[in-house]
Amino acid sequence: MPDKKNPRIKKEDTYKALKKEGMSTEKAARIANAQKAGTLDHKSEKLEDRSKTELMSQAKEIGITGRSKMSKSELISAIRNH
């Protein structure tokens, strides 16, 4: 049976690679779609190298609640575990 593409996944090859690495379905889909949309690029690869303002913005984009009371390290943890 042929492999059916999911129309909600915008960059199927990235999605499949992330899933193969053990990433959750939701997170792999978010990353693949963000990459396709061009919104995944950041000045730095490491979250620790980003400013708290950048982390707050990213946390807002992905819907993390309570972010205004979080420290930089808490934001990093929340983003990684979302």
pLDDT digits (tens, 9 = 90+) for 35-65: 766 666 555 568 888 899 999 999 998 899 9
Residue 2 pLDDT > 70, yes or no? Answer: no
* 19 and 53 co-located in one domain: no
Examine residue 64 and state whether it is found in any structural domain, yes or no: yes
Total domain count, the chain: 2
Measured between alpha carbons, how far is 3 from 35 in angstroms, rounded to an integer?
22
* 19 and 36 co-located in one domain: yes
Examine residue 16 and state whether it is found in any structural domain, yes or no: yes
* 17 and 50 co-located in one domain: no
Examine residue 3 and state whether it is found in any structural domain, yes or no: no
What pLDDT is attached to residue 49? 86
* 51 and 69 co-located in one domain: yes
Per-residue pLDDT, averaged over 12-20, amounts to 84
* 79 and 56 co-located in one domain: yes
DSSP run (H or E) holding 18: helix 12-20
Host domain of residue 48: 44-82
Q: Per-residue pLDDT tens for 24-40?
A: 888 888 888 877 666 66
Q: At 1, is the pLDDT very low, low, confident or very high (cuts 50, 70, 90)?
A: very low
Calculate the alpha carbon distances from 12 to 33, 38, 66, 77 in Å. Answer: 9, 15, 32, 27
What is the DSSP-derived secondary structure letter of residue 44?
-
